[in-house]
A and B are shown apart, each in its own frame.
Chain A
Amino acid sequence: MSGIPHLSALVRAEVRKLASRTSVRLSIVALVLLGLVMPLILLLISSMVTVTTEAGQAQMKPPSFDAAMVLTTVLTMRNFFLFRAMVIAVVAVSFAGELVARTLREDLVRPVTRGTVLLAKWLALQVFVAVGLFVPLVVAGLLGLVCFGPGEGFVDTLLGAAITWAGDAGFATLVMGISLVLRSVPGTIGGVFLYWVLDRALGWGIKGAEKAQPLLEKLFEGWGMAEAATALHVAVFLRPWLPSSAFDIWWDYVPGAPLVWQSWVALVVYTALAYTVAWSVFRRIDVD
């Protein structure tokens, strides 16, 4: 007779399954390559700009790269589109994909609650998120240390990486929720990608307007557009609470500056909300 499975055993099984997926393996390979290639590109740049005179003296000072800068560059490259696209693909096949392929059904006929199944799959997803952060960081960090030395902002950069992890964890939860609501792989990929692009455009648009706020407010007043000035003010006030500010919380991180607490609160709220939606859907759906 079967026993009641332990959550840890289910998480291990889900991690093993994720690790065997082609999409996950390709993602890890791409992230390793990113961690390898970026330091080498910076090394190439630093060597190319070193120009010496006939007398043998340096004419141009090469850029002073260090491991912290390498990490920052790699993180930025990873955070812009690469890893988020990977998260969308992996979540789509792991949740909607398993429902459509009916492999999830085979797990649900076992002596386990749906809540435990969802939690196990979510925790396995978080392992992927963590691996997807630390693999390029370790590769690029080690290579950066060897090539350039640590630099002064190394610890700050690692804090930035931790903040990135929090944003990724929340984003993966959001995609999981959408995937279970839509229950379609193309729907999940298309829907999340569309939301993500629009949300980012909105966030960046407001952020750009925020930087030019004094100038824009003067222009609006000059044109007699008091409502536009008020709307801009409200938008700037709301920006830290937007999903883009929450899930891209690394974007507002400035070493030494205070953290934007509104975005942290929003991140926790949106993540909890996404998990709750995922759970309420998963708990009730009929599985074919």
Chain B
Amino acid sequence: MTGTVALQVQGLTRRYGTRVAVDDLHLTVHEGDVYGFLGPNGAGKTTAMRCILGLIRPDAGSISVFGEPDPVRARRHVGAIVETPAFHGWMSGRANLEQACAYAGIAGAEVQTEIGRVLDRVGLTERAIDRAGTYSLGMKQRLAIARALLGRPRLMLLDEPTNGLDPRGMREMRDLIRSLALHDRITIFISSHLLAEVAAICNRVGIIQEGRLRAEGRVDALIGEGNTAPIVEVGSAEPDALEAVVAAVEGAEPLGPGPNGRLLVRLDAITPEGLARALVQSGVPMTALVPTERNLEDVFLEVTR
């Protein structure tokens, strides 16, 4: 990290009637960061990203990209994918990129060179002459990355880039994003629900809830700090009954189902042995009680509780 600020958001606020979608949001993304922008559904992630891209007018606040406060000039540095990318389906992938070149200010002989470069970067050269409407979702996402790469942006904003992709597509997209950060030296700002994805590729995260930034920092620091109470996974054939019993156990707090379906329980003032004893006494059938390591999901659940 060089210390140069790639994206600075200060006091960003957007209301829809009486509902505040983004509320005095402050965040900083440094050059070289792969920044995960996390939050539950309706937390204001997409609204914030659209404000940053100039698609939605904020009610208050300021945004600068590499120190450029003018939104039009700032967008010279930015490539973006906003939710499901849209293309002119009747045009070829290459023709769609030619359209995008005009809007990116790329002209003359540079157009074909640049299109060749980005198609090669995402591995779509052979299918470039096919109509975009015939592409699979994974290919559309790659074409969207190619389009976002036109003009060699220094910052990429990716809003749920793995949405709807199958496991192979998600893996490819994750590798591509990593590669863009490592080899192309592009600063990445990525919003996602998939905490494991974010944990795998991001060095910093910001967690937003009800339009406000609740936590921000390095992933390892966030995991290491804060509430260090141990968390265990408890399995049961009667998960509803289990959750009710755990809620009644003093010193234990159910956090909801974990990634493998077991109930996550934070042990604030009770040992694992104590919890096991309480569950056995309650008569709820228990199939497993496994200590877990604190991870980004735990941080997320704590922050957005």
Q: Mark B45-64, 1 if CB is under 8 A from A, else 0.
A: 00000100111110000000
Q: In the complex, what's the smallest C-beta–C-beta distance from A113 to chain B, in angstroms?
A: 6
Asked whether B102 lies within 8 Å of A109 as measured between CB atoms, the reply is no
Assuming the contacts A109-B55, A111-B76, A287-B56, asked whether A102 and B86 have C-beta atoms less than 8 A apart, the reply is yes
Tell which of B57, B75, B99, B106 touches A109, judged by Cβ atoms closer than 8 Å. Answer: B75
Segment from B148-156, B218-226, B242-250, B251-259 that makes contact with A: B148-156
Q: For chain A residues 22-67, which have a beta carbon within 8 Å of chain B?
A: 22
Q: Which residue of A lies closest to B16 (CB)?
A: A286
CB distance from A261 to the nearest CB of B (A): 40
- What residues on B are CB-neighbors of A287 within 8 Å? 50, 55-56
Chain A 224-255: CB-based contact to B (< 8 A → 1; otherwise 0) = 00000000000000000000000000000000
Return the contact of B106 from the options A3, A12, A20 (Cβ within 8 A).
A3
Q: Which residues of B contact A12 (CB under 8 A)?
A: 102
B106 touches A4 (CB 8 A): no
- A110's partner among B87, B100, B107 (CB-CB below 8 A) is B100
List A63-111 residues whose CB lies under 8 Å from chain B: 101-103, 105-111
Shortest CB-to-CB span from B12 to chain A, Å, is: 15
* Smallest Cβ-Cβ distance to B75: which chain A residue: A111
A4 touching B105 in the complex, CB below 8 Å, given contacts A103-B86, A111-B75:
yes
Residues of the A chain whose Cβ atoms lie less than 8 Å from the Cβ of B154: 1
Q: Which of A1, A22, A101 has the most CB of B within 10 A?
A: A1
* A111 cross-chain contacts in B, Cβ below 8 A: 72-76, 104-105
Stretch among B36-44, B88-96, B261-269 lining the A interface: B88-96
- Whether a CB of chain A sits under 8 angstroms from the CB of B137 is no
Complexed CA–CA distance, A284 and B107 (Å): 29
How many pairs of A and B residues are in contact by the CB < 8 Å rule?
A: 110
| Interface segment, one of B77-85, B276-284, B291-299 | B77-85
Which chain B residue has the least Cβ–Cβ distance from A13?
B102
A1-B72 in contact given A111-B104, A112-B103 (Cβ < 8 Å): no
**Hey, which chain B residues are within 8 Å of A17, CB to CB?**
88, 91, 99
Report B-chain residues with C-beta under 8 Å of the C-beta of A101: 86
Q: Which B residues touch A10, using CB under 8 A? A: 102-103
Q: Is A21 engaged at the interface, CB distance under 8 Å to the other chain?
A: yes
Residue A6, interface by CB 8 Å: yes
Say yes or no for A9: interface residue by CB 8 A criterion. Answer: yes
Q: Determine if A20 and B76 form an interchain contact, defined as CB atoms under 8 angstroms apart.
A: no
Q: Which residues of chain A (167-208) have a CB below 8 Å from chain B?
A: none
* Residue numbers in B under 8 Å from A4 (CB-CB): 72-73, 76, 105
- B204 contacts the other chain (Cβ, under 8 Å)? no
A105 touches B90 (CB 8 A): no
Count, chain B residues at interface, CB 8 A: 38
Residue among B80, B88, B95 with max Cβ neighbours from chain A (10 Å): B88
* From A2, A13, A103, A109, contact of B87 by CB (8 A): A103
Asked if A105 meets B106 with Cβ closer than 8 Å, knowing A111-B72, A111-B73, A286-B56, the reply is no
Q: Are B88 and A110 in contact (CB under 8 A)?
A: no
Within 8 Å CB of B54, what residues of A? 108-109
Q: For residue A25, give the distance in angstroms from its CB to the closest CB of chain B.
A: 10
Residue from B74, B76, B106 whose CB has the most chain A CB atoms within 10 Å: B76
Contact between chains at A109 and B80 (CB < 8 Å): yes
Asked if A5 is at the interface (CB within 8 A of a chain B CB), the reply is: yes
A106 lies within 8 A of B73 (CB)? no
Within the complex, which residue of B57, B76, B90, B153 is in contact with A21, where a contact is CB–CB below 8 Å?
Answer: B90
A150 to chain B, nearest CB (A): 41
Cα A251 to Cα B67 with chains together (Å): 57
Closest to A286 in B: B56
Q: Who on chain B is nearest to A17 by CB? A: B99
Q: Report the Cα distance A64→B58, complex, angstroms.
A: 68
Q: Which B residues lie within 8 Å of A102 (CB)?
A: 84, 86
Complex contact A20–B86 (CB within 8 A): no
Cβ–Cβ contact B107 & A9, under 8 A: yes
B147 interface residue per 8 A CB criterion: yes
* B contact set with A: CB distance below 8 Å: 50, 53-57, 72-78, 80, 82, 84-88, 90-91, 95, 98-100, 102-107, 147, 150-154
Given A3-B105, A103-B86; 12 other pairs, CB 8 A cutoff? A1-B76, A2-B153, A4-B76, A5-B102, A13-B103, A20-B95, A106-B103, A109-B75, A109-B80, A112-B105, A287-B50, A288-B55
A selection of 23 A-B contacts at a CB cut-off of 8 Å is A2-B104, A2-B151, A3-B107, A5-B105, A6-B105, A10-B102, A10-B103, A12-B102, A16-B95, A20-B95, A103-B87, A103-B88, A105-B55, A105-B86, A108-B53, A109-B54, A109-B80, A110-B100, A111-B72, A111-B75, A284-B57, A286-B57, A288-B50
